[in-house]
Chains A and B, each alone.
Chain A
Amino acid sequence: MIKKFFESLIEKAIFISGITAIAIVVLIFIFLLKESVYFFLNNNLAEILFGMDWYPISEPPKFGFLPLILGSVLVTVGAIVIAVPVGLAAAIYISEVAPGWFKEILKTGIELLAAIPSIVLGFVGIVVLAPFIRNLFNLPSGLTAFAGSIMLAFMAMPTIVSIIEDAINSVPKSYREGSLALGATHLQTIRRVILPAASSGIMAAVMLGIGRVIGETMAVLMVTGNAAIMPTSILQPVRTLTATIAAEMGEVIQGSMHYYALFGIGFVLFVITFFINLAADMFLHRKKS
Chain B
Amino acid sequence: MVNKITIENLKAVYEGVLALNGVNLDIRQNEILGIIGPSRSGKTTLLKVLNRMIDFVPRSRVEGKILFDNLNIYTDIRLLALRRKIGMVYALPLPLPMSIFDNVAYGPRLHGTKSKSVLSDIVEKCLKASYLWDEVKDRLDSQAFQLSGGQQQRLCISRTLAVEPEVILYDEPCSGLDPISTAKVEDAMRELKEKYTQVLVTNNTKQAARVSDRTAFFLMGELVEVDNTKKIFTGPSDERTNDYITGKFG
Contacts and interface: CB of A to CB of B under 8 A. Distances in A.
A183 B53 contact: no
Contacts, number: 57
Interface string B108-134: 011100000000000000000000000
Label chain B's interface by main secondary structure: helix
B107 interface: yes
Contacts of A185: 80
A184 interface: yes
A183 B87 CA distance: 9
Interface stretch (A25-33, A123-131, A174-182): A174-182
A192 B87 contact: no
Interface residues of B, number: 24
Contacts of A174: 90, 92, 94
Given A174-B90, A175-B97, A177-B90, A182 B53 contact: no
B98 A183 contact: no
A247 B90 CA distance: 62
A44 interface: no
A197 B163 CA distance: 22
Interface in A94-148: none
Contacts of B107: 182-184
Q: Main secondary structure on chain A at its contact with chain B?
A: helix
B111 A183 contact: yes
B83 interface: yes
Nearest to B108: A182
A179 B84 CA distance: 11
A73 interface: no
B1 interface: no
Given A188-B110, A192-B106, A192-B110, A183 B90 contact: no
Contacts of A197: 97
A182 B97 contact: no
A179 B96 CA distance: 8
Given A181-B51, A183-B80, A183-B81, A175 B94 contact: yes
User: Which of A175, A180, A185, A193 has the largest count of B CB atoms less than 10 A from its CB?
Assistant: A180
Contacts of B159: 178, 182
B156 A178 contact: yes
Interface in A183-233: 183-185, 188, 192-193, 196-197
A192 B107 CA distance: 11
Given A174-B90, A197-B97, A179 B163 contact: no
Contact of B53 (A175, A177, A188, A193): A177
17 contacts: A174-B90, A174-B92, A175-B96, A175-B97, A177-B90, A177-B94, A178-B159, A179-B96, A180-B53, A181-B51, A181-B53, A182-B106, A182-B159, A182-B160, A183-B110, A185-B80, A193-B97
Interface of B: 51, 53, 56, 80-81, 83-84, 87-88, 90, 92, 94, 96-98, 106-107, 109-111, 156, 159-160, 163
Interface of A: 174-175, 177-185, 188, 192-193, 196-197
